[in-house]
A and B are shown apart, each in its own frame.
Chain A
Amino acid sequence: MIVTLLGLACFALLVVSLTPRLVGMAPLPDRIRNVSLFAIMALLITIVGLIQSWNVALALLNLCLISSIMALGVNIQWGYAGLLNVGIMGFAALGGVAAVLISADPVADAWAAGALGIFVSFILAVVTVMAAIYTYRNIAPSMARNLALFAIIVIGLVVIRYFYGPARDAIEDVNPASEGYLGGLGLPIILAWPVGGVFAGLAAWVIGKTALGLRSDYLAIATLGIAEIIVAIIKHEDWLTRGVKNVSGLPRPVPYEIDLQQSQWFVDLATRLGQDPALSSSVFVKLCYAILFAIVLLAVLWLSERALNSPWGRMMRAIRDNEVSANAMGKDVVARHLQVFVLGSIVVGIAGAMLTTLDGQLTPGAYQPLRFTFLIWVMVILGGSGNNWGAVLGGFVVWFFWIQAEPIGSWLMETITSGMAEDNALRIHLLNSTAHMRLMTMGIILLLVLRFSPRGLIPEK
C-alpha cells in the first residue's frame, strides 16, 4: 500500500518535472529542479530502506549505480555524438567475461590438456585473417582473387577446427561438474574492471571500423548482431566461460559476511550500534560495494563532464548537430565517431565487469537484450540525452521502477481483478502475466518521453 502511494507520488513529481506546462506549472529553475530530482531519488531509496529493509535498499542502490554507469556510456555515444548502439548487452557481457578471465582460479589440468591447442588455433585464426586481407589488398580484383579468398577462409576454418576441436574437448573433460574450463588468472577482481573496458573497446573498434561512416541505421544493426554473437559465444564456448553451467564463486573485492561475523571488531561494532551481527554484516558488504561503485561512477562522471565541456566536447556536439558543416570545418567525422563509440563502449564494458563482480558469478543465460540493451536506452532517453547528470538520474529512476514495478503491477492487477471470482480463468491469467507488464511499461515510458519531453528529465544545456 505504502509502496503504491510512494510510486504514485514519485510518478506525479516526474511528470511535473518532465512536462511542467502540461500540469499548468511554470518550469522550475534548472538548479532547483536537478537537485530536487536527485533528492527525491535519495529519499525513495531511503524509504525503501525504512519500509522493506536496508539490505533491499542497498541492493537496489548498487544496481542503480551500475545502471547509471552503463547509461553514462550510452550517453557518450548517443548524447554526445548521436550514435545508436543497440548492442549494449554484448559490451556488458564482455565485461563479465573479463571478470572471469581475470579473477577465477586457473585450472591447471585444463591448461595442460588443451591450452596449447587453443593457442595454436587462435594463432591460425589470426594468420587466416591476415592472409585473407593480404590477398584482398595485393591481388587485382578478379575471379581468381575471390576464389583464393574463399579457399583461404575454408582451409583456414578446417585447419583451425582440426586443432581447436580436440583441445576444446580435452579442456571440457577436465572435471566437468565443477570446472571443465581454462579458468582465469586468479588476480584481484578489481583488475577486471579496466580489462572489461578494454575488451568492450576492442569489440567496438571492430564494429565501428566497418559500420561507421555508412548510413546511421547500419551501426544499430551491426551492434545488434555483435551483441547476439558475443552472448552466443559466452553461452556455447564452455572451455572459456563454462557456458550455461555458469562460473560461480568469483572472488570478491570486499570482505565476506561469514568472515565479518567471526571477526571481533565487527561484532563489537554491531553490538555498539545495537544491530544483529548477521544482518549488519550483509549490509556492511553491500555498503562496501556501493562505495566502490560510487567511486567509479563519480570518476566516470567527472571525466565525462570534463570531456563534454572541453573543446573536444564542443566539436562532438558540432559534429552531431551538423555533420556536413563540421566536416567542412576540417573535422574528421568518421574518426571522431569511431573514437567516441569506442570510449562509450569502454564505459559499458567496465560497468558489465562490475555487475558480474557484484553477482559473484557469470550467468550467460541472464544476458537478455530487453534487460541489458533496451532498459539502458530508456534510462538515457528518460534522463535526458546529452546530459551526463541526466543519464545518471535516468539510471537510478528507471532501475528503481524496474524493480518496484513488480509489486506495483501485482497490486494493480489484484485491484482490477478483485471483482472477479477466485477461479476465474481471466483473473488467473492476468495475475500470472503481471511479470510481463514491466516490459510494456518501459516501452510506454520510452514512447511517452520521446514524444512529449524528448529532452528528458535533465535536458542538455
Chain B
Amino acid sequence: MELLNAFILLSNFVLVPAIAYGSQLALGALGVTLIYGILRFSNFAHGDTMAFGAMVTILFTWWFQSMGISIDPLPTALLALPFGILCCIGFVLATDRIVYRFYRRQKAAPVIFLIASMGVMFVTNGIVRFIIGPNDQQFADGERFIVKARTFKQMTGLEEGLSFKVSQGITVVTAILVVIALFWFLNRTRTGKSMRAYSDNEDLALLSGINPDKVVMVAWIIAATLATIAGTLYGLDKSFKPFTYLQLLLPIFAAAIVGGLGSPIGAIAGGFVIAFSEIMVTYAYKKFIAYLVPESWEPDTLVQLLSTDYKFAVSFMILLLVLLFRPTGIFAGKSV
C-alpha cells in the first residue's frame, strides 16, 4: 500500500506533468529540427512563432466564446486551433517570402539566417505584444479535470490522489496524433520523401528534380502547424504570456540538440529527456521517501536536488553535457 501511494504520488507530480510538458517540448523541437534540416539554420523566431499561433487561436477562442459556440466538455480552443494554424502558416510564409528567401537565393551563411531570424523574432514578439498585450491571458474553458485528485482517492481508497487535467490529456493525445501524421507524411508521401532527400543531400535532391521552393514551403507550413499546436497546448496547460514563449526557446533548442538537430525522432526523444530531467531534478522527494522508508528514517529536508527557480539550468546542463560528449546528439543529427 505504501509502495502504491509512493507511486501515485510520483505519478501525480512527476510522471503526468512531465509527459504533458515533454509532448509540448517535442512538438516545439520538431519544428526547430525540421527547419534546421531543410533550411539549415537554428530558427530563433520559433518561440515567438508559437506565441503568434497561440495568440491567433486565443483571439478566435474568445470570438467563439462570445458567440456561444463551444464543444463542452472540451476547451473551445480546440475548435479555434485550425484557424490559428492557418493564420500562423500565412504569417510564416510571409516572413519567408519577405526575409529568408533573399538569403536563400544568395546562399548566405547559416549565421546570417540566424541573425535574420532574430530580427523576425523581434518583430513577431512586437506584433504579439501589440495585439494581445504582454500580460497573462486565460482562455481555457470546458471541463478542467479528467480525473480529480479527490475522486481518485475515493475510488481507490488510497491516501494519495492522482489528478489528470483535460489539458494534459489533450496535449498527449494531440501530440501522438500529430507525430503519427508527421511520420506518415515524411515516410510515405512523395513530398515527405523529397523533403527527407533534400535534408540529407541538397545537391543530389536538386539533381533528381526535386523542387526546392516547394520543399521549403512545405517545411514552413509544417513548422507553423507544429508551432501553433505546441503554443496553444502550452497555453492551455499553463497560461498564455508572450514572454514565457521566449523563455521556452532554451528547452526547445536543448531538446532538438539532445536528440540531434535535423532528426525528428531525436526531437521527440529530446523533448521528453528535457521535460523529465527538468521536473525530476526540481521535485521535492521528501514525501515520496517518507512512504518508502521506516518512519524514523524520514528526511527532515525537502530532498530537492535543485530549486524550481532553476529549471532552465537543467536543460542548459543537459545541453552542455551533450555538447561535450556527443555533439551530434543521441540520434546523430547533421553538422554544418
Contact = CB atoms under 8 A, between A and B. Distances in A.
Interface of A: 82, 84, 86, 154, 157-158, 161-162, 165, 210-211, 214-218, 220-222, 224-226, 228-229, 232-233, 235-236, 369-370, 374, 377, 381, 432-433, 436-444, 446-447, 450-451, 454
A447 B129 contact: no
B313 A229 contact: yes
Interface residues of B, number: 53
A436 B316 contact: no
Given A217-B42, A225-B312, A369-B246, A450 B111 contact: no
Contacts of A226: 316
Given A82-B111, A228-B316, A447-B116, A437 B301 contact: no
Contacts of A84: 111, 114-115
Nearest to B123: A443
Interface in B273-314: 301, 303-307, 309-310, 312-313
Interface of B: 41-42, 44, 99, 102, 110-112, 114-116, 118-127, 129-131, 133-134, 246-247, 249-250, 253-254, 257, 261, 301, 303-307, 309-310, 312-313, 315-316, 319-320, 323-324, 327, 335-336
26 contacts: A84-B111, A154-B305, A210-B323, A215-B335, A217-B42, A221-B254, A222-B316, A225-B312, A225-B319, A226-B316, A228-B312, A229-B313, A232-B310, A236-B309, A370-B122, A436-B129, A436-B130, A439-B123, A441-B126, A443-B119, A443-B121, A443-B124, A443-B126, A446-B119, A447-B119, A451-B99
Contacts, number: 142
Nearest to A211: B323
4 residue pairs, one from A and one from B, having the closest CB atoms? A443-B122, A440-B126, A443-B123, A225-B316
Contacts of A232: 309-310, 312-313
B276 to A, nearest CB: 15
A327 B248 CA distance: 37
Nearest to B304: A161
Contact of A439 (B125, B316, B320): B125
B305 A221 contact: no
Contacts of A222: 316, 319-320, 323
B131 to A, nearest CB: 8
Contact of A236 (B250, B303, B310): B310
B309 A225 contact: no
A439 B45 CA distance: 14
Nearest to B251: A225
Nearest to A160: B305
B312 A446 contact: no
A135 to B, nearest CB: 14
A216 B122 contact: no
Given A225-B312, A442-B122, A218 B305 contact: no
A377 B307 CA distance: 32
Given A437-B130, A439-B129, A443-B121, 4 more contacts: A211-B323, A217-B42, A229-B310, A450-B112
A86 B114 CA distance: 11
B121 A235 contact: no
B126 A436 contact: yes
Nearest to B324: A210
A349 B301 CA distance: 37
B278 to A, nearest CB: 13
Given A369-B246, A377-B115, A216 B336 contact: yes
Contacts of A450: 112, 115-116, 119
Nearest to B112: A450
A369 B242 CA distance: 13
A211 B131 CA distance: 37
Given A157-B305, A210-B320, A437-B126, A377 B327 contact: no
A442 B247 CA distance: 20
- Which of A236, A432, A433, A438 has most B Cβ within 10 Å? A433
Contact of A228 (B118, B250, B257): B250
Nearest to B309: A236
A161 B301 contact: yes
A236 B129 contact: no
A236 B307 contact: yes
A221 B32 CA distance: 13
Contacts of A433: 129-131, 133
Given A165-B301, A215-B336, A229-B313, A446 B122 contact: yes
Nearest to B319: A225
Contacts of B316: 222, 225-226, 228-229
Nearest to A236: B309
Nearest to A225: B316
B248 to A, nearest CB: 11
Contacts of A440: 122-123, 126-127, 130
A232 B316 CA distance: 12
A165 B306 CA distance: 11
Contacts of A439: 122-123, 125-126, 129
B120 A443 contact: yes
- Which of B111, B133, B261, B303 has most A Cβ within 10 Å? B111
Contact of B42 (A214, A221, A369): A221
Nearest to B256: A221
A446 B110 CA distance: 17
A216 B125 CA distance: 25
Contacts of B247: 228
Contact of A447 (B123, B254, B257, B301): B123
A438 to B, nearest CB: 8
B35 to A, nearest CB: 12
Contacts of B305: 154, 157-158, 161
B134 A436 contact: yes
A377 B250 contact: no
B114 A370 contact: no
A229 B312 contact: yes
A221 B119 contact: no
A181 B109 CA distance: 47
A118 to B, nearest CB: 16
A370 B125 contact: yes
Given A232-B309, A232-B312, A436-B130, A218 B118 contact: no
Contacts of B336: 215-217
B310 A225 contact: no
A174 to B, nearest CB: 20
B272 to A, nearest CB: 19
Contacts of B261: 217
